Every structure is written in C-alpha cells, then in structure tokens.
Amino acid sequence: MIRAVVWNEYVHERENPVVGGIYPEGIHGAIAAGLDADDGIDASTATLDQPENGLPLDRLKETDVLLWWGHKAHPKVDDATVDRVAQRVHEGMGLIVLHSGHFSKVFKRLMGTPCSLRWREAGERERLWAINRSHPILAGLGDRIELPNEEMYGEPFLVPEPLETVLISWFEGGEVFRSGMTWQRGAGRIFYFRPGHETYPTYHNPTVQRLLRNAVHWAYNPAAAWTDVHEAPNVPVDKAPEKIEQKGGSLHKAGEEGYR
Amino acid sequence: MIRAVVWNEYVHERENPVVGGIYPEGIHGAIAAGLDADDGIDASTATLDQPENGLPLDRLKETDVLLWWGHKAHPKVDDATVDRVAQRVHEGMGLIVLHSGHFSKVFKRLMGTPCSLRWREAGERERLWAINRSHPILAGLGDRIELPNEEMYGEPFLVPEPLETVLISWFEGGEVFRSGMTWQRGAGRIFYFRPGHETYPTYHNPTVQRLLRNAVHWAYNPAAAWTDVHEAPNVPVDKAPEKIEQKGGSLHKAGEEGYR
Amino acid sequence: MIRAVVWNEYVHERENPVVGGIYPEGIHGAIAAGLDADDGIDASTATLDQPENGLPLDRLKETDVLLWWGHKAHPKVDDATVDRVAQRVHEGMGLIVLHSGHFSKVFKRLMGTPCSLRWREAGERERLWAINRSHPILAGLGDRIELPNEEMYGEPFLVPEPLETVLISWFEGGEVFRSGMTWQRGAGRIFYFRPGHETYPTYHNPTVQRLLRNAVHWAYNPAAAWTDVHEAPNVPVDKAPEKIEQKGGSLHKAGEEGYR
Amino acid sequence: MIRAVVWNEYVHERENPVVGGIYPEGIHGAIAAGLDADDGIDASTATLDQPENGLPLDRLKETDVLLWWGHKAHPKVDDATVDRVAQRVHEGMGLIVLHSGHFSKVFKRLMGTPCSLRWREAGERERLWAINRSHPILAGLGDRIELPNEEMYGEPFLVPEPLETVLISWFEGGEVFRSGMTWQRGAGRIFYFRPGHETYPTYHNPTVQRLLRNAVHWAYNPAAAWTDVHEAPNVPVDKAPEKIEQKGGSLHKAGEEGYR
C-alpha cells in the first residue's frame, strides 16, 4: 500500500466561487479521490493552513509519495517545510509537482533553476503527446491526451534537462510545453505534470486521474529511507578498503568532523 | 578575452602554516596565475572577507566564468551572495566548482541535492581517468592524470545525473569518484572538478592548470546575458502566436501579473 | 511471472577445462539457476548452436527480459538474430548485457558506439561502488560489492552517456570502470553489468545473483509490445487533430507510403 | 577553417520539377551556399551517385562536420559508406542530420533506435520554440523560428533521450516534434534538425541558414581524430598502473588479442 499525501495550498477554492464550484472538496480532495480508486494507494491530504503546513516530520516519514499543488500562496510556505520535504525526497520519497507548483519553493529548491515559463489563461485546447507510450506513467492512456480547456504554459521552461521527457503539449494559441518530465534527486524520483489550472475541472478528468495513479506507482521507491544521505562520513586510514599508510600534510586531526 | 574570477574563502592559508607555505598567494592566487598563462583569459580574484564577499552585482555582471573554492567557511557566505551567483549562472555565467566547494551553498543551490560524499585525508595517490579524451575540457591532457598526494573523495556523490561524466578517479585506498562532471542550469554551464585539497600543491600542477584553462573556455557562454530568465511573462490572448478567443472561466484579470 | 531468457554462446565451457569446471551447466545454466530462486521469474536458456541461435521470433515474442553473454563467438551470431532482438527491445523487451557482451553485435547495434574498453586478465580484486544504493537494481546489496578475482575492464568505455550510472568499479591494478549503466531504446530498457569473466565463479556469487534478479525486475516493461514501433504512419490532412487545408507543393500522392 | 561537407542523395531535384525549381543547384548546393557565408566554414558537397557515394575514406578524414540530407534513396547508400561515416563520427567528426535523414542508415546506426515518426505533407505552418535561447546553435535567432510551409513530423520520434532538447515544433495541424536535439557518440557530436522538406524553400531561409552555420561550429571537435576508438587494448600485468601479480585461472595467453 503506497502512502500518498496530496498537498494543496487550498486558497483559490475558498476565495473564488468559480474554483470553489469546480472543486467543492478542494483540489486536494479531487486528486485524493482519484488516487483512492487504486487499491494499491492510500491517499490522504494536507494543506497550508495546518500546523507545520500539514507536513510535520512524523507525517513526512510515513509518506511514500507527495503530490504538490500551489499557486497564489507559494511565499507562505515555511522554509522549514521546504527543508523537510527536500530532505525526504533525497531520502527516497517520490514527489509529483502539479501545474503552478512549478514556482513552488519545493520545486525550485530541487531543480536549482528558475522554473519560469510563459502563460496565458484563455481556456484553450491542450493536446499532450506521449513521447514513449510504453512508459509506466502512461500505462493505459494511448498516444495522446486532449483537454478542451486549459491554461497555456509555453517554453522555455527553465528546468534542468530531465531524465525522460514523457509528454509534450500542443496549445491552440501556438505554443508548446514539456508537460511531463522526470528527474532523480538523491534516492527520490520527481515527476512534473503540467495540467491542472484551478478554473477548469482537469482533476476530475478520468484520464488525468489514471495518469496520476500511474505516476504515484512510478515515483514510489520501496527502498528503506536513506536517512544519512546528507552526511559526509570520514573513512579513516585504518578503515580504508585497501591497506594504505598516511602520507603528506594533514589539516584534520584523527576522527575530526569535516567542514560543511 | 574571457573574464574569469577565482573566488576563495581564503581562510586555511592564513590560519595553517602548512597550507600557507604551499599557497603563499592563496589558493585563488595560484589558480588565477595558472589561468593567466592563457592569452584568452583575464583572471582576477575575490575573497570572502571583501565587501559583499567580493562579488557585488556589478562585478558579477562583468564575470564570464566564476571559479569557486571554499571549505571551512561555507556557512559564512551571505545568502544574498548565493542568490546573486545563482542568478548569474542562470543568465549564462559559467561556474567551475572546485574540490571542497561540493558543500558550498552555491553548488548545493544549483544542484538541488545533498552533494555529500565520503572522504579521507591520507595523502594517497589519485588517478583520474578520461571518459572522453576528446572532450574540450581535456584538450592536450591524454587519457589520465596522476596526482601523487590527494585527499580521497568517495562515491556516492549525491549530485543529479550529469550531462557528461568527464573524469573518474581511482584512489589508492580503494574508492572511486566521478571527479569531473558537467551540468547546465538555465543558460549557464557548470563543471565540477574534484582535486585541490589545501594541504597538497595540486593547483601548482601544470596539468591541473591546463585543465582549468580548458574548463574556463568550455564554460564560457558568449550569448548575451539572459537577464529575464526568472520572469514568467503573460502572453495575452491578442498576442498569442495563433488567433484564439478567450474561453471558460478566468482567475486573472487582463494584464495581471502571475503569482510566484 | 517475468519470462527471462538467458542467452549464452556456450563455447568456452566446452573448449576449456577451467571454464567447464567452474560452469558445468554452462554460464547460462548458472545464471538461470540464480534467477529461478525468485518466485516472480521464470528463467530459461538459449544458446548459439540452436536453430536461429535459440531465439526464433516466436520465442522472442514470449520473452520479457533477455540476458546476453557472449565473447569468442560474437561474429557467429546471425545478423537476422540481431535484427530480431533489436526489434523486440524497441517493442519493450528488457535487455541485460553481461561482461564481454559489450562487444556483441546486439549491444553495438543498440548503442551506436564502438563499445570498446581496455582489459587485463589477472584475477585482480574488483570493488563495485553503488552510486545510488536505493536504485531498484541494487535492492538489498548495500553500498559496494567485492569480487576477489575478476578480469579488469578499464575506461574509456565507448558507450553513449547513460540514463543512470548505477555502479563504478575500482580495480587493484589501478583502473576504473562504469560497471552498471542503464539506457532506454524505444520502449525497452537496457542494463549493462560488467562482471562475469568465464575463468572466475562470478555467476555463482549470491550477491551477483541477487543483483541479476533485481535487474530482471527493473528491465521488465509490462506494457503491451509496441509492435509498430518501426512504422512511420502518414496522418492525412483529413485526419489531422486540428482542421487544416492542404497548402503548397506536394511530392507524395494522397495515401502514398513514405520513403525509408 | 572548419571543413564542412554537405551530403545529398540528389534525386528529387532531378526527378521532380517542383523540387528542381526550388533547388536548381540541388538541396546540397543551397545548404553549402548558406554555410559559405561564414568566413570560418569551408563548405563542399558530395552526392550519392559519386564513387563511394562521394565519401571515400580520404575525404572523410579531411571532413570536420558532415551534413546529411536523404529521403527516397536511403536503401541505395552503401553499407560500407555507413561504416566509414560512423567510424569518423566516433573519431570526432561532427554530424548534422537533416529532416528526412531521420530514416537514413547513418542516423539509425548511430542512434540504435527505429528513428520513426508520423508525417503529413500539407504545407502547414511550423513554429520552432527555443528551449534554451542561449544555446550556441541558436545564437542570434531569438526565441522562435516560424516557417510558413513545412511537412509535419509528429511525436513519438523514436530516438534515445538526447543530451539536450534545443527546439520543439508546433504544427498547425495539432502535432508537436522535438525538432532540434543533440547527442554524443564516441568523440563526435550529432545534431538533428527537422525542417527541410524538398517541396518548400526552407534551406533558402536566412534564419535556417544561420542556424546551420551555428550548428557546424557547435559540432566541430578540434581534438585530433581518435583513430583507435574501436580498439580494445590489452593492458598486461607488467604495464598495469599499479603493481599487481597474476592470480587465478586465465583464458588468454600473454600478449594475445581479445575476442570481438
């Protein structure tokens, strides 16, 4: 049973009647309901206004895959929350970043790039083309996904070259976008999925729901958490795999910690 | 003329007589002298204790390639300096991170990973093998580099998969390390080079000096600085490349800025 | 149940008493026995001297993951066999290439590079370091694998940059080698694993056997075979996703096949 | 002075009056004229009907960058020509594959994949978006290229994950395509560029000409040819970088060649 947590800032739904009408249970609620249709996934939710942004350390330790939707409230996410999430990704937790989450602190921290793009909110048609239709994230989805109304995101999308380009979008207004990409950071797998503007019912779309279920399975790393992934252990001379003798000058005393 | 700046925390040389003896002009001085042997490079230096860590915005704007050596004083580098350096890399400035700079704030910011590793200071032999001896960074260097005394760094090195693995090290004590790797972040090229422990005269080594000159040429991006690389411009409906009409609900008013 | 086929040229074992003594059931027999210890794998074997090199199309269609060991008899493998294997990898069959299989026709076909390296048969110690110990191929294996006697393979190994570098070897004689790497070709996943010289009992090693079981699971793609992966279908104007009209000159008549 | 050779099968221009009217000097002639506008490039041409397909070994040895346009006559290219070209790419010659060259024997050999795609000849509008506008191949070209009439190529394009995705195309009819990608094979750099259907004047377009000049500079590797890139030298025990002694069984006699 993969433990998935859907995080949402949960702001638009409560402030904007259009969004609230589409997502009465919140965007997180709709996504979690879609995930729960999979017997192998146990989905729960977390929101910005909860203590520690809904993601205290204890909860993150019991999270296998985190999904992240944010937009208006990116700056309100605590830096300590970003630290905890990044640490857990490095340890092996999967991360699925959705739509406007491209500008979240979490995603920027893990990418090391601006994560910027062009955008237009015109309800235009989006067609996502599969680059590798046999990729596990696209299982059962065919060679393309059509969404009748979506926000446009256009290239250049300032992210590092991905491990895999999974989907590329065509937009009615003339732009393109790499709408599905994968990266690895430490032991953790990351998938970015573009669609999901708050004024359209994208997360109620059965195809999108299937894709997100697939992505949760893909992002799940069954290995034990790599909890010391940030440590830089000294390997003293007498513990070297091969027998060697100390030579030359030395700055560190025996057994001393390294600098960081 | 490529404008290279060699940044050094410049601490060990002034605190430790062994290091001061090897690098009387500082590690930065030795590296800059090596770069200046190239007619196409204009090398200068910057150190931690200077105003704005020696890297005010005006100076960074006139820097084509930045080299970074730090170790003991990583935490003392201002976060604002890290912001400025990262911005300039995204705009196109080249960055060469040296040895213990693996744990610098700048490198961790741009990688999005722990950048951790194992280490041992035993003066052991290191042999760096060329993966692609025709790579421009290895021009004129042959198929391997031998260093009689170096600190050991061992895998796992927690960085993202690189664009290219350029060098892999063998250590006398039994470890291996990916000692030369390249990445792209925005318009900027990044090269990490492992050797250069402060208690050995590595930066006086003519082969290492040649490699660093090559790396400066490789990292240099002659394109104009991509100064708006962090911006996410709206492309309004009437400016779309293809003629479209507004459809569906909308959150943003016409001409409004996006959230970030 | 993953259907794995272990292919072996099966020459050394019958010609050389040292090899025959280590692998009385053939290298393929030892590998298949190791795989069969996994309840989720159904392993069988195929050898060069069988009709169609033991890999007729019908059999390949029922193969999920193919393992390949060859050395002395690379040139004797039929080109038609290479075509069939490459086609099935493109359709989604996993491929695990072992040791001297680096110079097999199959591997060279799928890499597009020389696949050359340096070598020495001195029974020296090899230590394989995990780059990402949480990678599924390394499940349960810790941070390194030690083999007391192996042939040395040294860099440069002329293959394309991999998707992931999984293992790097240290050799007693001073060389290094990227001993575990992954690639994708069409819908098929490829893993190269270095150890396995015929004069040492490497495939009887429980750690190596565990790694190969892991690799079979990793390489398995449950998607339906992408049987038309080599086709280049015309999408006529009236079948275009968006309504368009024919413009400009044309070379092809309506419904005509493309050139290839 | 970079020595560029533009190879063309040169069939359509002589068989089809529409094509002949657009390219009276052949497609190769138009491309070479565009390259020659650069003082740093010395462009010449070669065609299928010349002895050894215009690319005898002596000529290839004096070629720094090869551009390849083929379509109808792919099967007529000698396998020996393909061998020579691939060898030279591995040694360090740059290769730029154009448009329908995606199905050339040369490109398929170097990619190891089907290189298939979807297509439509409707003269529709193509807009190529820059993924990294500061990439040297895009110097001076801005953020997009518009072509009023082109053949459509649609994803999936069955090639390995590239080192860099440089351009992605939007098509009027609803498809997308990764129209500019880079790979490395041995010491050689490869760039694929999509536009250039024979019934449209694409190679007379000044923007396309500028891009191809940039690409020639990018693909040029000034390193000496790596002529033994296919060899697998034995490193005998007494030549090992570290002192070792022969252990265990051995198959090869001292000084013997390896199998391949």
B171 contacts in C (CB within 8 Å)?
Answer: 170
Residue of chain C whose alpha carbon sits nearest to that of A163: C163
Tell me: the pLDDT tens digits for B195-228?
A: 999 999 999 999 999 999 999 999 999 999 999 9
Tell me: the pLDDT tens digits for C57-70?
A: 999 999 999 999 99
Q: Which of D90, D163, D246 has the CB atom closest to C122's CB atom? A: D246
Which of D126, D171, D176, D184 is the best residue to mutate to test the A interface, defined by the most A CB atoms within 10 Å of its own CB?
A: D176
| Neighbour order of strands in the sheet with D41-47 | D41-47, D2-8, D65-69, D94-98, D188-193, D176-185, D164-171, D118-130, D144-154
Any chains having at least 3 CB pairs less than 8 A from chain D are: A, B, C
CB of A164 within 8 Å of a chain C CB? The answer is yes
Give the E-state strand segments of chain D in sequence order: 2-8, 41-47, 65-69, 94-98, 118-130, 144-154, 164-171, 176-185, 188-193
Task: Report which of D34, D185, D22, D8 is spatially closest to residue D99, judged by C-alpha positions.
Answer: D8
What is the rounded average pLDDT for all residues in chain C?
96
CB of A160 within 8 Å of a chain D CB? The answer is no
Say what the pLDDT of residue D46 is: 98
Q: What is the pLDDT averaged over residues D233-253?
A: 88
Q: Provide the Cα torsion A82, A88, A92, A96; round to 10°.
A: -40
Residue D169 has pLDDT above 80, yes or no: yes
Cα–Cα distance, C103 to C74 (Å, whole number): 7
CB of B132 within 8 Å of a chain D CB? The answer is yes
Say which DSSP state D25 is in: T
Dihedral over Cα of A242, A244, A249, A255: its sign? positive
**Residues found in chain B:** 260
Distance (Å) from the alpha carbon of C132 to chain A's nearest alpha carbon:
7
**Residues found in chain D:** 260
Residue A248 has pLDDT above 80, yes or no: no
Q: Which of A143, A154, A176 has the CB atom closest to D176's CB atom? A: A176
Any chains having at least 3 CB pairs less than 8 A from chain B are: A, C, D
Contact C219, C213 (CB under 8 A): no
Say what the pLDDT of residue C258 is: 77
**Phi and psi at residue A168, to the nearest 5°:** -130, 135
Task: Report which of A258, A209, A218, A203 is spatially closest to residue A235, judged by C-alpha positions.
Answer: A258
Q: Which of D129, D156, D171 has the CB atom closest to A155's CB atom? A: D129
Yes or no, beta carbons of B129 and C175 under 8 Å apart: yes
Cα–Cα distance, C101 to A23 (Å, whole number): 55
A253 confidence band (pLDDT: 50, 70, 90): low
Yes or no, beta carbons of A133 and D156 under 8 Å apart: yes
Say what the pLDDT of residue B254 is: 60
Tell me: the pLDDT tens digits for D24-42?
A: 999 999 999 999 999 999 9
Q: What is the pLDDT averaged over residues C145-163?
A: 98
**Inter-axis angle of helices D206-219 and D26-36, to 10 degrees?**
70
A107 contacts in B (CB within 8 Å)?
Answer: none
Tell me: the pLDDT tens digits for B132-183?
A: 999 999 999 999 999 999 999 999 999 999 999 999 999 999 999 999 999 9
Cα–Cα distance, C205 to C200 (Å, whole number): 10
Share of chain B above pLDDT 90, in %: 95
Yes or no, beta carbons of A187 and C132 under 8 Å apart: yes
Q: Which of C74, C200, C247 has the CB atom closest to D122's CB atom? A: C247
C224 contacts in A (CB within 8 Å)?
Answer: 134
CB of D227 within 8 Å of a chain C CB? The answer is no
Q: How far apart are the first and last CA of chain C?
A: 38
Say what the pLDDT of residue C254 is: 60
Whole-complex ipTM? 0.96
Yes or no, beta carbons of A169 and D175 under 8 Å apart: no
Q: Which of D129, D155, D171 has the CB atom closest to A175's CB atom? A: D129
CB of B176 within 8 Å of a chain D CB? The answer is no
Task: Report which of A118, A179, A72 is spatially closest to residue B236, judged by C-alpha positions.
Answer: A118
Amino acid found at B132: N
Yes or no, beta carbons of D226 and B134 under 8 Å apart: yes
Amino acid found at B96: I
C18 confidence band (pLDDT: 50, 70, 90): very high
pTM for this prediction: 0.97
Yes or no, beta carbons of C92 and A134 under 8 Å apart: yes
Q: How many CB pairs under 8 A join A and C?
A: 49
Cα–Cα distance, B194 to B101 (Å, whole number): 9
Give the strand pairing for D188-193 and D176-185: antiparallel
Residue B122 has pLDDT above 80, yes or no: yes
C248 confidence band (pLDDT: 50, 70, 90): confident
Contact A150, A195 (CB under 8 A): yes
Q: Which of C134, C186, C224 has the CB atom closest to A92's CB atom? A: C134
CB of C72 within 8 Å of a chain D CB? The answer is yes
Which of B124, B133, B134 is the best residue to mutate to test the D interface, defined by the most D CB atoms within 10 Å of its own CB?
A: B134
Q: Which of A90, A152, A199 has the CB atom closest to B249's CB atom? A: A199
C241 contacts in D (CB within 8 Å)?
Answer: 173-175
C193 confidence band (pLDDT: 50, 70, 90): very high
Cα–Cα distance, A52 to A244 (Å, whole number): 49
Q: What is the pLDDT averaged over residues D201-210?
A: 98
Query: Which pair of tokens denotes residue A219?
Result: 């992002």
Query: Which pair of tokens denotes residue D217?
Result: 């500079």
Yes or no, beta carbons of C223 and A136 under 8 Å apart: yes
What is the rounded average pLDDT for all residues in chain D?
96
Tell me: the pLDDT tens digits for D96-149?
A: 999 999 999 999 999 999 999 999 999 999 999 999 999 999 999 999 999 999
CB of D57 within 8 Å of a chain C CB? The answer is no
Residue B21 has pLDDT above 70, yes or no: yes
Dihedral over Cα of D199, D200, D202, D206: its sign? positive
A31 confidence band (pLDDT: 50, 70, 90): very high
CB of C251 within 8 Å of a chain D CB? The answer is yes
Residue B257 has pLDDT above 80, yes or no: no
Cα–Cα distance, D174 to A57 (Å, whole number): 46
> DSSP H helical segments within B101-180, as ranges?
105-111
Say which DSSP state D67 is in: E
CB of D148 within 8 Å of a chain A CB? The answer is no
Q: Which of D132, D165, D170 has the CB atom closest to A174's CB atom? A: D170
Say what the pLDDT of residue D44 is: 98
Distance (Å) from the alpha carbon of C249 to chain A's nearest alpha carbon:
24
Contact B113, A185 (CB under 8 A): yes
Query: Which pair of tokens denotes residue B73?
Result: 């004083």
Say what the pLDDT of residue C257 is: 72
CB of B254 within 8 Å of a chain A CB? The answer is no
Distance (Å) from the alpha carbon of B193 to chain C's nearest alpha carbon:
17
Distance (Å) from the alpha carbon of B87 to chain A's nearest alpha carbon:
8
How far, in whole angstroms, is CA A160 from its chain's centroid? 14
Yes or no, beta carbons of D178 and A156 under 8 Å apart: no
C253 confidence band (pLDDT: 50, 70, 90): low
Yes or no, beta carbons of D221 and B139 under 8 Å apart: no
A23 confidence band (pLDDT: 50, 70, 90): very high
Tell me: the pLDDT tens digits for A181-228?
A: 999 999 999 999 999 999 999 999 999 999 999 999 999 999 999 999
**Residues found in chain C:** 260
A257 confidence band (pLDDT: 50, 70, 90): confident
D258 confidence band (pLDDT: 50, 70, 90): confident
Count CB neighbours of D73 within 10 A: 17
CB of A24 within 8 Å of a chain B CB? The answer is no
Q: Which of A156, A168, A170 has the CB atom closest to D174's CB atom? A: A170
**Phi and psi at residue C142, to the nearest 5°:** 80, -160
Q: What is the pLDDT averaged over residues B47-74?
A: 98
B252 confidence band (pLDDT: 50, 70, 90): low
Yes or no, beta carbons of A226 and C184 under 8 Å apart: no
Residue B255 has pLDDT above 70, yes or no: no
Yes or no, beta carbons of C240 and D174 under 8 Å apart: yes
Task: Report which of C31, C27, C32 is spatially closest to residue C14, judged by C-alpha positions.
Answer: C27
Residue C252 has pLDDT above 90, yes or no: no
Any chains having at least 3 CB pairs less than 8 A from chain C are: A, B, D
Cα–Cα distance, B121 to A113 (Å, whole number): 34
CB of A49 within 8 Å of a chain D CB? The answer is no
Yes or no, beta carbons of B174 and A259 under 8 Å apart: no
